Amino acid sequence: MDDSNQKEKGPAWEQGLLRDLALAALKEQRAARRWGIFFKLLFFVYLFIAFAVWSALSSGDLRMTADNFTAVVDLNGVIKADSPAGADKVVTGLREAFKHKGTRGVILRINSPGGSPVQSRYIYDEIRRLRKKYPQILLYAVIADMGASGGYYVAAAADNIYADQGSLVGSIGVLMNGFGFVEAIQKLGVERRLLTAGENKGMLDPFSPLKEEEKVHAQGVLGKLHGQFIEAVKQGRGERLKQDPKIFSGMFWSGEEAKELGLIDGFGSAGFVAREVIGAEEMINFSRKDDLFERLAERVGAGSARALTDSLTTLSDWVRM
C-alpha cells in the first residue's frame, strides 16, 4: 500500500523538485545578469570620469593654480567658422590668456594656410583690442610650418612675429576660384535651366557663361578685400616692412626670406620664445576646446547636420585668404 502511494507521488514530487531547481537557476541567472549590468555601468562611469578628468587636464582647466607662465593659444588649420581655427574659439582662448593674473606673455602659435577673410579679421581686431587693454602683456605670433594668407593676417596683429627658417610665410592676397562646365554640358546635350529673381543672382554660376561685367565686379570685390589685408599688415608691421611691391603680390617666402622683407622679427619655436624672450619657460595652453558633452553631441547629433551643410557650396566658400 505504501509502496504504491510512493510510486504514485514519485513523478509529481520529481517534477516539483525539477521545477524548483529550474526556478532557482533562473533566479540566479537573473541576479548574475543584474550584477553584470551593474558592474558594466560602474566601469563605464569610471571611464567617463577618467575621460572627463583627462579632458580637463588637456584643456588646461587646472591652470588656475599656476603663476608666472607663458600662455599659449593655438591656431591650427583652415580659418573658418565652427572650426578649431575659427574666430570664436581662438578669441575665447586669447581673452582667457590675457586676463589670467599669472600670464607673463602670450604666444599665438600659428600653423595655417589661411581661410575666411572675415574670421581672420575678427581675430586680428581682437588681438589689437587685447593689446590695448593689457599693455603690460606682449603677444608673440609664432609660425610653425605655415603662416600664410589669413594665417599671416592674424599674425600681423602681434607685437612680434617669430618663425622657423623653413616656415612658409606671406601670401598676402585674396582669391576666388571655381570651375566652368559650359562646354561640358553642351557636349553632353544637357540644357541648363537657371531661374533667378534679380539679374545678377546667378552670377558666377559654373554652368553658365562668365559675363565680362560679372568678372569685373568680382575682381573689384577681391581688390577691396586685398586692400583691407594690405592695410592691416601695414598697421601691424609698420616701418619694419621693406619697401618691396612683391610683399603684397600674393607670393609666399621661406622664414629666412620673410625676415629680410620685414614680415617676421626673428627665428624660434614657441618654447624658445617662452624661455628666451618672455622669460617664463612654463607654458600653459589656453586653446579653447570642446568639452566632453560638446564632443559627444558633435559626433552623435550635429555631425550629420554639419555634413549636410558642408555639402552645400556657397559664395563664401569661394572667397578666401
Do 255 and 290 reside in the same domain of the chain? Answer: yes
Do 76 and 54 reside in the same domain of the chain? Answer: no
More confident residue, 127 or 316: 127
Q: Return the bridge partners of 254, or none.
A: 168
SS3 118: helix
pLDDT at residue 311 is higher than 60? no
pLDDT digits (tens, 9 = 90+) for 70-119: 999 999 999 999 899 999 999 999 999 999 999 999 999 999 999 999 99
SS3 148: strand
Do 28 and 165 reside in the same domain of the chain? Answer: no
201 labelled catalytic? yes
Do 119 and 207 reside in the same domain of the chain? Answer: yes
Number of domains in the chain: 2
149 labelled catalytic? yes
Above pLDDT 90, what percent of the chain?
Answer: 55
Do 265 and 127 reside in the same domain of the chain? Answer: yes
Q: Which of 49-53, 82-86, 212-216 has the lowest mean pLDDT?
A: 49-53
> Average pLDDT, stretch 190-202?
84
Neighbours of 265 (CB within 10 A): 19
Do 21 and 73 reside in the same domain of the chain? Answer: no
Residues 6 or more apart in contact with residue 183 via CB below 8 angstroms: none
Q: What is the pLDDT of residue 191?
A: 81
Do 54 and 70 reside in the same domain of the chain? Answer: no
Nearest to 221, CA basis, from 197, 199, 204, 244: 204
* Active-site choice (116, 120, 149, 167): 149
- Average per-residue pLDDT for the chain: 83
Do 296 and 200 reside in the same domain of the chain? Answer: yes
Q: Cα dist. 86→34, 95, 105, 146, 249 in Å?
A: 47, 14, 22, 17, 26
Q: What is the pLDDT of residue 183?
A: 81
Do 54 and 71 reside in the same domain of the chain? Answer: no
CATH code at 182?
Answer: 3.90.226.10
Domain that holds residue 26: 1-58
Do 32 and 171 reside in the same domain of the chain? Answer: no
Please give the Cα distance from 26 to 17 (Å, whole number): 14
* Active-site choice (201, 211, 224, 242): 201
Do 91 and 214 reside in the same domain of the chain? Answer: yes
